[in-house]
Amino acid sequence: MQQSEFTVEDAYQYNQRGVFRWLWSHISRYRLLVIASVLFPVLDLGLYAMVPVFTGRAVDTVITGEGSLWRATLLVWAAMVGSGLSFWSTSLATETIAQHLAVDTREELYRSLLGKSQIFHDRQRVGDIMARATEDVFQLNLFVSPGLRFVTDTILGIVVPLLYIGLISPSLLLVPVIFVFTYIISVRRYASRLLPVIRNQRNQYGKMNSVLEESISGIEVVKASTQEWFERIRFGRNARWFRDLFVRQGQIEARYLPLLLFGIALGFTFLHSLWLWQQGVIGLAEIVAVMGLMNILKFPTFISIFSITLLQGGIAGAERILHIITADTDIDQNIEGHQAKIEGKLTFKDVTFHFGDGKPVLQSIDFTIEPGQTVAIVGQTGSGKSTLTQLVNRTYDVTEGSILVDGVDVRDWNIASLRSQIANIEQDIFLFSRSIRENIAFGMPDATTEMIEQAAQDAQAHNFISSFGEGYDTEIGDRGVMLSGGQRQRIALARAFLANPRILILDDSTSAIDSATEDEIQKAIGRIQEGRTTLLITHRLSQIRWADLIVVLDSGKVVGIGTHEDLLRTSPHYRRIFARYEIELPPLEELTPA
């Protein structure tokens, strides 16, 4: 079974061993609808093909004067009504299957994305993922309705008329059978030329969507750099490539031969029928019936140009969706793993980490943090500080060595139990386009209003939240665009305070907050730190000096570990980090905690 960081109990398991098996495992969930979508077209075409036969009998009645024209008319009317009702039932069944397929596919894709590791998501382009979840899924919808319905109509629209022609006179099958043979060869060649173009269309749509998403997400940078013209040209180039692929598709469709072959076959069938009539093999009624049945072949011949495009668009879309769903992920949920309340002891044992086959980001990291300690991790930009903390909650997994939480390797923990007790507040705060209340309570959706407001007060966020017209119900826009950097960080802190974590990771979490507010927040952080293990990444000496332990990183290695005073005496790297501070800090003993 494929690894996943998130699974749904009793979720329907689809067959992912190939595109067609995967599609069938989706469609076959609705067996009654599938049966209806096959039986009703048989009834539809069977009745519709009876119309030329009954018409031929009516002609015979007119010529011979034998029989009832009212009866012939009633038979034609009944066949058309029955065909119409069957057509309506077919449409209802296939469209229902198509909508179920779209919903189920989106749910499966989204569930898969939630279960992928951070490394997987780091490699993806958001716009392309969105294209797969929207346009490619829509192609699957069209694949079923009208795609598969057209295919069914094409097959039955050929088989049923040929069967009826054979019943009238087997000798009349000569030209229609030759036509069907040439039709199959022509359609196969047409499909083989079209499929690569359709695949390129789907891929190019994903690329174009990615360019659009990046430009809109980075619109502030685009405008600040006055690069609107460049982004316009870049997007326009991708849009033209997408257009060119549709032009190429049109060129292939313009060379679609089956309709020409049908016209030739129709003429030869009429000629052959007249010759057989002259020979006395068939009568005029049979000629009328056969020509009517041949005209039924025109619809499947014509509709093939659309059905093949829809089928291949669906197949190309399914390939792109299934590629994401079946992509490997490095971290497993480990449902049966260790679950317990975290005390807070962290042990890094010879930890090495690198992304893929690249240069190691961390090398041979060894140190231990006791429960309740506050540990500051310092180093120059790019030294691996943030990456080190991301290994604790298994955002990434160590390449070599191990990280122990309370003596248990993090890989042996149930990942939900582990992560629910660790809060990570980063400098780049992400907030959802929801209300402030929902953002604060994101990790605890059942939190009461009192709990949410208390967390906001602890994070010094209550006052500015209350100043908004709708208070805690204020919608903050995409990524919290309506809030300042400091306000976003305080919302993130409130979210962490509400979650009441056992391990708290603060990655430069007060960088966008003014000094006066920071003093207040530090008091709140000081309260939440009590009895909790805290990993602190910051360049502010006012915070670093009070850490129980300071770990100095340089190029992914530990080059110093100890207290502030010890490192000032023994670590040139530590002194170099703060060499830019020209002011002389007062002695530590003259300071008192806030």
Predicted pLDDT of residue 513: 65
- pTM > 0.95: no
Predicted pLDDT of residue 485: 79
Predicted pLDDT of residue 569: 87
Domains annotated on the chain, with CATH: 19-325 (1.20.1560.10), 335-421+502-516+532-594 (3.40.50.300), 428-500 (3.40.50.300)
Cα-based angle 10, 16, 20 (whole degrees, multiple of 5): 125
Q: Which amino acid is at 66?
A: E
* Helices 449-458 & 485-499 angle (0-180, nearest 10): 120
175 Cβ contact partners less than 8 Å away, ≥ 6 residues apart: 265, 268, 269, 272
Cβ count within 10 A of residue 449: 10
Dihedral, 438, 439, 442, 447 alpha carbons, nearest 10: -50
Would you list the DSSP string of 215-236?
HHHTHHHHHHTT-HHHHHHHHH
Alpha-carbon gap, residue 15 to 386, rounded angstroms:
39
Reported for 578-584, long-range contacts at CB under 8 A and 24+ positions apart, including other chains, are 578/541, 581/541
Q: Work out whether the CA dihedral 203, 209, 212, 217 comes out positive or negative.
A: negative
Give the sheet arrangement for strand 533-537, strand by strand.
422-425, 503-507, 533-537, 374-379, 549-554, 557-562
Q: What is the DSSP letter of 588?
A: G
Predicted pLDDT of residue 371: 93
Cα-based angle 366, 370, 373 (whole degrees, multiple of 5): 110
Strands 346-353 and 362-369: antiparallel
Predicted pLDDT of residue 460: 85
Alpha-carbon gap, residue 305 to 261, rounded angstroms:
14
Alpha-carbon gap, residue 312 to 570, rounded angstroms:
68
- Asked if 461 and 423 touch (Cβ cutoff 8 Å), the reply is no
Predicted pLDDT of residue 42: 95
HSE-up (13 A, CA, CB side) for residue 422 = 24
Strands 422-425 and 503-507: parallel
Taking the chain (594 residues) in runs of 10, the rounded mean pLDDT of each run is 84 95 97 96 94 89 83 92 96 97 97 93 93 96 95 94 94 95 95 95 96 91 93 96 96 93 96 94 92 94 94 96 93 93 96 88 95 92 92 94 97 95 86 94 92 91 93 90 84 89 85 65 69 86 85 94 90 79 45 40
